[in-house]
Structure 1
Amino acid sequence: MTPATTESKADLQSGFASALESLRKYTLIAIVAWTLMIAGIFTWTIYDQRNREFATALGVARAYFQKDQSVRQWGATQGGVYVKISEHTQPNPHLKNLPHRDVTTDADQKLTLMNPAYMIRQINERFSRMHNDYIHITSLNPLHDENEPDDWERSILKTFTKESDEFAQIVGFRGQPSLRMMRPMVTKQRCLKCHEQHGYKVGDIRGGVSIAIPMAPYRRDSSEQLLLIGTTHGGIWVCGLLGIGFYTRRARRHLEDRQQSIQSLAKANSYNRSVIGALGEGLLGFDAMGRLTFLNPAAVHLLGWKEHELLGKSIHGFIHYLKDNGEPCREDECPMLGVLHSGESHSSRDDQFMNRDRIALPISYIATPLFEQTRVVGGVVAFQDISEQKQSLQRIEYLAHHDSLTDLPNRVAFLEAVDNALANARRYGHGLALLFLDLDNFGVINDSAGHTTGDELLRQVAKRLRHEIRQPDLVARQGGDEFLILMVPVIKEKEKEDITRQLALNATGLAQRVLDVMHDPFLVEGSTYYIKASIGISLFPEDANDRVELLKNADAAMYTAKGDGRDTYALYAGDLAQRIQHRHMLETGLNQALIKQEFRLVYQPIVDLNDGKILAVEALLRLRSATLGDVSPVEFIPVAEECGLILPIGRWVLQTACRQMAQWFGMGMELRVAVNLSTLQLQREDLESSVLQALEDAQIPASMLVLEITEGATLHASPVVIERLQRLHDLGIGLSLDDFGTGYSSLSRLKNLPVDTLKIDKSFVDGVVTEQDDEQIVLTTIELAKNLNKRALAEGIESREQWQCLLRNGCQRGQGYFFSRPVEAVVIEELVRNGGHWNQIPS
């Protein structure tokens, strides 16, 4: 989708949202206005109703007042009313000055004159009791206590100035809201008859009439009316809201229909651009003059130009002006614009466009002409960036011929180079040398330190090898820990006569340089590792005529170097094939020996050098094969380690030795047995479980077993391996360090190893009598063992002089042919039963 389409869609959405917002606003205004109007009318109705209540009560009060005044006027006009004197009606003392206050009728009935005020008061009291109203005649100067004003009446009386004064208000009276009204009583001429004697003159305000009307009855009627009115107004308000909602919904539907129509039109207008914009490929449009008319977003992204920067510009002048090979091309040679003249599509799988930064962009494209009836009016170019594809192809090509770990050429590339070198050697009459390098004990490091460390070591080895070779030699990784080196001689014309000798010298010189550079320690993540190598060398045409034979012979020579003690090189010799065949036969024989149970154990006593008492025995493996005969452990154990058979063989040795200990233990012979562990066994995670299972199956205590490990096996032992040995040692299993002095163990590593015994290697014992250096090494080892609270044990003692020298230097334990060769278990049993001394062992 183009920015213009996006902006147009955004404008439509914005307009619709604005219209909806206005509709919401006006709807809210209408609701508020309608609510305020209904509330105002209802409030005014309540106010009017309250006024009506007040007016009605005031009318009643005024009527009471007029009644009071009418009765007074009537009584005054008549001159009073005579009533019978009784207990409740006594002669009025205020009228005593009137001569005719009291009269006697012809019937001898005594009557007394009752003035209007007294008569009205009694009438009002009776009326108040009947109707719960209150009518009280009061004055600031009352003649009777009954006429004493209350606080409200007193305050009102003080405000009266004329007869027309009136005061009315709703106040709390006798615990309920009441309308209280008060009107003044003005002295008339007719009133002087009774009141002149009190100092009143005509026109004087002599008091007032106070009336209290309870509002409860009026408010009750008013509340019923207000409830009806409120219900009516509420219904009108709800109807109004429904009307507003109905109108709002119709208006919203109208807006939505209008918006949908607008969007449909917008979609119809932008459909083509939307489809084009959704394409992952770049699209360019140009007219019949080759000028750009549109770019889709993908084209804008790939080329870096903005659409308005290219519109109207020449597609050839700005984007496509180079040939496939990078050379400039004229506009009339531009194949893309050629579709305007040919009327046919044109495609290219590998071309280039220039981006905004004038950097060539690898692309593939197809240019298609656009027609208006039969006339070409322009064209469309669909293109895609093939940079990643080209890089991937280059990467695939590279990986097909290089090792991904070391970046060295791989076996495929190496064999191709060998074929080319052989062709040149045959053509120009010179030779070749192929070196086959295998890292010694690399598998041990890889298993113990982890594959990450192993990979880094291989990279460092590759770096050192690359540094040692010269052009046009080639070094490659064969796979695993094997490397190949192709050596092409650079020999002058006069040296061609001695080409073979010179080639062999150069090859052995390179092999020695490689071995020397491998002696330097390797540092990986703060840890130091030592790696040695074995190198086999095969020459063309002396040793082989083709690459297969050349590679096979170099491999055979490498095994010769391994057989010679490793860390060396060997040239191919004719009898190597026989030795390689023998090795394969030996490997096959080892597999058969496991199946046919042709292995057996013999035991060599370990004695106390002081008195010759047998302290323990070492279990040693022997092989008597039906096909190979008796095979020396020196011959078959290295082969077993290389092919991995040492693991099942080692388990068999451990289980067999434990069963023999159990048998001896049942016979009352508590004889410890030392079992050798190979380097591969030491690195295995299941070592602990294998040892514990063997002890459990044999039902013997762990303290009866001693495990022997070589010093070389501990060189690259990881902390995990050390912890594994420590756990075995904590169980009571003895640990001995075999061949001590032949490796590169540091004192710090030795201190951390959980071993009980240091076994002095036979190579030092052999010279302990004749060689001062060997004697010093043996003495140092014995002292070191004492200082580390460990035992020293000498192996390979073959003479009385060696025994006495070792004893003299403080060594307490030893083993060797001088005491006994390895013997069968029954011989050990007989010896122990006869006292258990070495000098009783048969030779």
Structure 2
Amino acid sequence: MLITGVFAWTVHDQGNREFATALSVARAYYEKDQAVRQWIAAQGGVYVKITEQTQPNPHLVDLPHRDVTTDAEQQLTLMNPAYMIRKINERFSRMHNDYIHITSLEPLHEENEPDEWERGVLENLEGESDEVAKIVDFRGQPTLRMMRPMVTKRRCLKCHERHGYKVGDIRGGVSIAIPMAPYRKDSSEHLLLIGTTHGGIWLCGLLGIGFYTQRARRHLEDRQNAIHSLAQASNYNRSVIGALGEGLLGFDDKGRLTFLNPAAEQLLGWKENELLGKSIHGFIHYLKTDGSTCSEDECPMLGVLQSGESHSSRDDQFMSRERKAIPISYITTPLFEQNSIVGGVVAFQDITEQKHNLQRIEYLAHHDSLTGLPNRAAFLEAVDNALAHAHRYDHGLALLFLDLDNFGVINDSAGHTTGDELLSEVAKRLRPEIRQPDFVARQGGDEFLILMMPDGKEEQMEDAAGYLALKATTLAQRILDTMREPFLLDGKSYYVKASVGISLYPEDAKDRVELLKNADAAMYTAKGEGRDTYALYAGDLAQRIQHRHMLETGLNQAMIKEEFHLAYQPIVDLNDGRILAVEALLRLDSATLGKVSPVEFIPVAEECGLILPIGRWVLQTACRQMAEWYGSGLDLKVAVNLSTLQLQREDLEAIVLQALEDAQIPASKLILEITEGATLHASPIVIERLERLHELGIGLSLDDFGTGYSSLSRLKNLPVDTLKIDKSFVNGVVTDRDDEQIVLTTIELAKNLNKRALAEGIESREQWQCLVRNGCQRGQGFFFSRPVDAAAIEKLIREDGHWNRNLTN
């Protein structure tokens, strides 16, 4: 019956396959038709030679250039897609005995007149995705006929708009006819083969069923006898093993459970009758202690069936009926019968409580019981691992030694209980300040240790050690700030501060002992400096970091105390010395730091973000000074430098325009200088921002040109007026042939790009003469003037506008 049913279903399925195959061919013809039609329509039609078979189409008479004559006097006419597809399909039908027909209820050509089947389908087409497919009698033989609608597209209106066609109208269909004879022939041959095969299978099946039924009956009898024998043995020993306090279970040579004692039932939650005959691996032991799946080949208990030797484990797990892991220790012993292994016995114990105790002991061995932080032993282990990693990958470490100031006074006056609570609160404040993978621990008493490691970004920096030290001091300051907040304990506020010592590897120490000792010494230095502060272990790097922090503090104070001022350096016409503009240069004369070079303080200001308020102050001050000059009759432009951070700010335009508006000066009097390096990775948004400023009339100058590795394509797109030749090239323009060629090339490049070249750092007459000789028209430098105050600039301009009257002599 099964074979007959399968064969009947196969015959039915084969008929469906015939239909599906023919339909897929018809669809392929249709898609080919549409692809060719779309391509021809996309070209606007195709020109062909005018012959007897390809006469000009009267329906295209309204189209311009329907008929053209080539340079070779060849007469061509435009064929529309529908006509060409019809001709292609006629030839294709003759070649392959298939039928492809473009038809319509209102055909323009009699060749497109529908037959009875096509007319019935066309009358019922409604949507562009409609498809009708059916096997009917066509030309005297069974044939699959398929039709899909033809929908008017916008490109069709070129030829058919005058026929009243509109986009989306269904104007006909593509009819395809595929004879079924070839497919049915193949199907008949296939069914014959299947029928023969099924008959053979049927005959072999009858013989096989009889043979294996006999064997299965014998096997079942043998199995029942074996189970009966094992059950008898189990009942014999049940009274003995039932009294055991530990779990006991047995399995046969196939790994199937044969018994469980009451203790095993209680531990696992299973009843014996629920597991008899079940696989010990599939129901009880299938996961390892790490949670991964244990395959049957890896099961150590079943392994005794192969090895014949006992196996024990102090730490494994069984799965309970609720699929919960139970930690156990066990021993598995194989069972023999006449030197053959017939099964095994597992004796096991629940070790959940022992494991919890061991984990508690392990935790207490590495953690402080009061604060929950890692203890000194865990910290030393972490330091050893970090030192090994640092030595292998050549990076630094920072160790912070924190000691609470005056903790003993609170501990003695308020009691040890309050002191312990205070230490716990200190630990809670420390945890959020420590990032991964840094490590914080309690040393003991009121001392805490912090290990700081660099991240990937810090390791790649040129001054990675200096940056790590800076990060360590920043963390120390953040911790000190956190400790200054009062601690509220039992309704009372307690104030406790801290002193922090910092030691660096490998700058200050080469091993763990020295690293801890130096951090401890630095902590006492901090206490000696008045407490509530941090100190770096003495050394060159420590001095650099201290100086950097002092400089950052000094810059903040300088902003408050208004210790910045501007100096102005003339920009002159190299041909006659006439002053054309001045560059505003920032200077610092601090009461605490003294006079500090911009080369030193500007990078610090950029790093800590102070460059933004400083840059705004420079822009506003320069615009006010320009307004004073402009109001007194001095027509003088001022160039102001912009930092990379200022360029990235969304409010740059607003700041610049506000400064111009407050000073009431024209935008054309302001020049903004940007470094070539700042534009190297400038985003399109930054470029657009500069273009808008330039469109307002603000001049843009590209400083340090030649040092930033910018491409010519980027330079072409930058809206700058002036290329400032870097001082490093001007220095060697007289003595170094390569520098002279670079300068000359830059001047020529500026001319070709309709920009100005300006040389900076001119310090000698020879440099000036060489630049004039090479066609550079503007420059600045000590040869003309050092940066001076606004009064000196005004005096010079009023004398006659030339810095050096003997310049042209």
Give the TM-score, by structure 1 length. 0.39
- Whose RCO is larger (CA < 8 A, sep 6+)? 1
Which protein shows a greater Rg?
1
